[in-house]
Copies of this chain bind each other. A is one copy, B any other.
Amino acid sequence: MRNFKVTLEYNGSNFHGWQKQTGKRTVQEVVENAFSLLTGESVSVEGSGRTDSGVHALGQVASVAFENQIPIEKIKDAVNNFLPSDVRILKVQKADANFHARFSAKRKTYEYVVQVGGQRSAIKHNLQGFYPFEVDLQKMTDASKLLIGKHNFRGFCSSGAKVSSFERKIFDIKIKKNRHIIKFEVTGNGFLYNMVRILVGTLLDVGRGKLTAQDIQKALETGERKYAGKTMEACGLYLKKVEYEKQN
């Protein structure tokens, strides 16, 4: 078997998320079909993690393995020919046999794009979230510091997630504003269900003055969802980067 690390971009608007589900259009299935058509083998594609319906990716990573001897530098264009226009392969790299896009991942970065105030853009309706209030950037930046580090993020995830631990480590949160658009970039060692969307909703509520730094402290200490802000829409969320140890 030849093993590959494949980096992908997709617009999640017309997908029922990453993970295969019978009878639904998913990114995983569309990409598996393209690799299978190219190689004539039944190829399985394992992502670094699921993305929900409507969530986009600028740099999803997947492990792919097959026997076909097509030269590595030809794989990208050949697979893209079999893909619909809302998914593109950006990069194909050789990987070790023990590389696994999910289990080998060390850090993930998500970006959340939101329009604050004004009238919601119809053109970009499925490429950015919307928050109808003006917000104070400094308040949000200050509050974001409380989230950095290793914490129990139970208060910042949606119920229904089956996980053995709610502890996650956030390495960095960057917040940039350009007129009506705010971009949040959150890097961590992993994320709970809806965690980024809730973190962003909480920071926006702080920026608007509806929540305070104290509410964030309470959500972290008690693990209770009620202290955090609202879950932002899926359409503003982008899986931007997945990092691995070494050059994998």
User: Which residues of chain A have a CB within 8 Å of any CB of chain B?
Assistant: 9-11, 56, 58, 80, 85-88, 90, 119-127
Contact = CB atoms under 8 A, between A and B. Distances in A.
* Copies of this protein in the complex: 2
A74 to B, nearest CB: 15
A248 B218 CA distance: 56
Given A85-B120, A120-B85, A125 B90 contact: no
Looking at chain A's contact residues, the main secondary structure is loop
26 contacts: A9-B121, A9-B123, A10-B122, A10-B123, A11-B122, A11-B123, A11-B124, A11-B125, A11-B126, A56-B123, A58-B123, A80-B119, A85-B120, A85-B122, A85-B125, A85-B126, A86-B122, A86-B125, A86-B126, A87-B122, A88-B120, A88-B121, A88-B122, A90-B119, A123-B127, A124-B127
A214 to B, nearest CB: 34
Nearest to A84: B125
A18 to B, nearest CB: 14
A124 B58 CA distance: 11
Contacts of A127: 123-124
A55 to B, nearest CB: 12
Nearest to A233: B85
A111 to B, nearest CB: 11
